[in-house]
Structure 1
Amino acid sequence: MLSHHELSTLLRLRDTEPRLAELDPEVLALRRYELVEIGRHNDVSTLKLTRRGRELVRRLRMDASDANQ
């Protein structure tokens, strides 16, 4: 189960070009759950959602929209 900090980090990755440190505890946990991956571009680390991470965010958005109805 994800903590509220991990969920927040996951949603931040969805919404922005992240500037999160790859060694942040939340990022490490999301990597362990295979929800984010770390890439390298010009010696800069980049974080992005995996297919599994995008699917989880999609489900969270569906549940949120159901709750608003």
Structure 2
Amino acid sequence: MLTHHEVATLLRLRDAERRLQELDPEVLALSRYELVEIAWHDDGDISTLKLTGRGRELARRLSRESDSA
């Protein structure tokens, strides 16, 4: 089960790629759940984050549920 912080991070990432200097615990958790993909530069630095197919589907369902509430 996702924490409210992880859900908020997932929904923030839904509409735009996010560039990071370092990974926060929520992003690492979302990556472990295969909801977020972390893109890395060749030198090992973090490039961008984006939702996986599973992440997009979950964000869509969460958004739809909140719209009908």
Report the TM range for the smaller structure's normalisation: 0.7 to 0.9
Runs of 4+ more than 4 Å apart: 41-44
The correspondence for 1:56, drawn from 46, 55, 58, is 58
What is the TM-score when the length of structure 1 is the normalising length?
A: 0.81
Higher relative contact order (CA 8 A, sep 6+): 2
| Percent of aligned positions that are identical | 72
Aligned residues: 67
> Which residue in the other structure is 1:47 paired with?
49
Structure 1, unpaired ranges of 5+: none
Counterpart amino acid of residue 25 in structure 1: P
Structure 2, unpaired ranges of 5+: none
- Residue-by-residue CA offset, 1:4-46 (whole Å, 9 max, x unaligned): 1111111111123312455210000000111001113575521
What is the TM-score when the length of structure 2 is the normalising length?
A: 0.81
